[in-house]
C-alpha cells in the first residue's frame, strides 16, 4: 500500500486522478491540494464524491506534507511543477507531472513554445517521458515522470509503429486532431462557454500549437531522424475525447503485410487496441477509459497511409496514463485501478 498526494486536485485532470485512485487496491489518497479551494471539503467542490472522499483541500506548500506520501501527482498548469520541484522533494517522494514542464529535452524549445522561463532546467535531463508503451523500462526506476500531453499521446501511439519500422516518409507527415472542450481545463474562458462552442467547430493553434515539438521529438526518437510536421488541432462541441487522423507517404515498395506486422508491436499492450480491418476509431468507444483505439488504411491511389486514433483526453491523455506510470514505478499490476470499461453513454 502506498500513500499519494495530488497537487491541483480540483481541476479536471486532478478530479480524474481521484476517481481512478479510489478504485486502486494498493493506494490510499493521503491528501489533495488546491490553490483555489484551501480548507474546503473536496466533496463540496465535486458533489459526486460525497461519502467517497472525506477530506479538505490543503494548501500547495507541499514540503510540509511529504513525510506522509510516497508519490505526488502534479495536475497543474505549465510552470507550477517546475517552480515547486527541488532536490528535497525528489529525495523523499516520486513525482509525476501532468504538465509539459519536463517533457521537452531542450529548454530553449520549451521556453519558445510555452512562452515562460523554465524554473528548474536542471531536472529536465533526468525526467523520463512517461509514454508507457515506449519507455516502460526507464519508467521503472524513475523518480520524476513527465506525463505526456493528450494530443501527443494519441498522435504518437497512432504513428509510432510505422515510424519505428521505417515504413513512412516522415517528411510528409500531417496530423489533424480534434478534441473536446475539457482539454482546455476547468478555468472559465469566454471561448469555451457553451454558446461559443456548441454547434460549431474551429481550428486553433494553427502552425504553432505547443504540443507540436513534443510530438516531433518523440517521433524523432522512434524514427531515428529529425522530424518536422504539420499539426492542426480543432475544438469540437463535446466534453471529452480526442480523435487523430494522420497522413504520410509510404516508402517505395511497402506492403500491406509490412504495415500489419508493424502494428503487432501492440499485441501485448493491454491499453492500445488495434482495431479489426474495416473499423475506425470512435471517441465514444474509449470514453472515460484508459484505452486508445488505433487503425490504419492504405490508399494505393496516392501511396499514402491514413493513421487514426481515438482516446479520452482526461484518462489516457492525463490521469489514467499518470496512474499507469505510477503502477510501473511501484511494481504494481500496470492495469490496477484502470480497469473501468469505456462508458457507453
User: b/e map of 159-169 (b: 16 or more CB within 10 Å)?
Assistant: bbbbbbbbbbe
Nearest alpha carbon to residue 316 among 178, 133, 160: 133
- 163: left (phi > 0), else alpha (psi -120 to 50), else beta? alpha
Cα–Cα dist 156/216, whole Å: 9
81, 132, 150, 288: the catalytic one is 150
CA-CA-CA-CA torsion for 11, 17, 23, 25, nearest 10 degrees?
Answer: -140
- 303: left (phi > 0), else alpha (psi -120 to 50), else beta? left
Q: Are 5 and 72 in contact (CB under 8 A)?
A: yes
Cα–Cα dist 243/90, whole Å: 35
Is 288 labeled as catalytic in the residue annotation? no
How close are the terminal C-alpha atoms of the chain, in Å?
Answer: 33
* Set of cell numbers at residue 124: 529536465
Phi, psi of 149 (to 5 degrees): -70, 165
Cα–Cα dist 110/115, whole Å: 8
The owner of cell 529529425 is 226
Residues sharing a CB contact under 8 Å with residue 34, sequence separation 6 or more, in sequence order: 8, 9, 10, 14, 40, 45, 57, 58, 60
Catalytic residues, by residue number, are: 150
Amino acid at each position: 500500500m502506498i500513500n499519494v498526494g495530488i497537487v491541483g486536485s480540483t481541476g479536471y485532470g486532478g478530479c480524474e486522478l481521484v476517481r481512478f485512485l479510489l478504485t486502486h487496491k494498493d493506494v490510499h489518497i493521503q491528501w489533495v491540494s488546491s490553490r483555489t479551494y484551501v480548507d474546503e471539503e473536496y466533496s463540496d467542490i465535486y458533489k459526486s464524491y460525497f461519502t467517497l472522499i472525506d477530506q479538505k483541500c490543503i494548501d500547495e506548500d507541499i514540503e510540509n506534507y511529504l513525510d506522509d506520501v510516497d508519490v505526488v501527482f502534479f495536475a497543474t498548469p505549465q510552470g507550477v511543477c517546475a517552480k515547486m520541484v527541488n532536490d528535497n522533494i525528489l529525495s523523499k517522494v516520486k513525482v509525476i507531472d501532468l504538465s509539459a514542464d519536463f517533457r521537452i529535452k531542450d529548454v530553449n524549445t520549451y521556453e519558445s513554445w510555452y512562452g515562460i522561463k523554465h524554473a528548474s532546467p536542471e531536472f529536465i535531463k533526468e525526467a523520463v517521458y512517461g509514454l508507457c508503451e515506449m519507455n516502460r523500462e526507464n519508467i521503472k526506476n524513475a523518480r520524476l515522470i513527465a506525463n505526456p500531453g493528450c494530443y501527443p499521446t494519441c498522435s504518437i501511439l497512432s504513428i509510432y509503429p510505422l515510424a519505428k519500422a521505417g515504413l513512412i516518409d516522415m517528411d510528409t507527415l500531417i496530423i489533424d486532431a480534434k478534441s473536446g472542450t475539457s482539454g482546455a481545463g476547468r478555468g472559465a474562458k469566454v471561448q469555451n462557454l457553451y454558446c461559443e462552442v456548441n454547434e460549431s467547430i474551429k481550428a486553433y493553434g494553427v502552425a504553432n500549437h505547443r504540443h507540436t515539438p513534443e510530438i516531433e521529438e518523440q517521433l524523432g526518437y522512434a524514427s531515428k531522424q529529425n522530424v518536422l510536421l504539420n499539426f492542426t488541432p480543432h475544438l469540437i462541441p463535446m466534453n471529452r475525447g480526442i480523435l487523430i487522423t494522420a497522413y504520410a507517404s509510404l516508402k517505395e515498395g511497402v506492403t500491406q503485410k509490412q504495415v500489419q506486422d508493424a502494428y503487432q508491436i501492440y499485441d501485448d499492450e493491454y491499453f492500445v487496441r488495434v482495431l479489426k480491418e474495416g473499423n475506425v476509431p470512435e471517441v465514444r468507444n474509449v470514453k472515460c477509459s484508459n484505452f486508445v483505439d488505433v487503425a490504419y488504411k492504405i490508399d494505393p491511389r496516392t501511396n499514402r497511409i491514413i493513421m487514426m486514433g481515438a482516446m479520452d483526453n482526461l484518462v489516457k491523455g492525463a490521469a489514467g496514463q499518470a496512474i499507469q506510470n505510477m503502477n510501473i514505478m511501484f511494481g504494481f499490476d500496470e492495469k490496477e485501478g484502470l480497469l473501468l470499461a469505456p462508458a457507453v453513454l
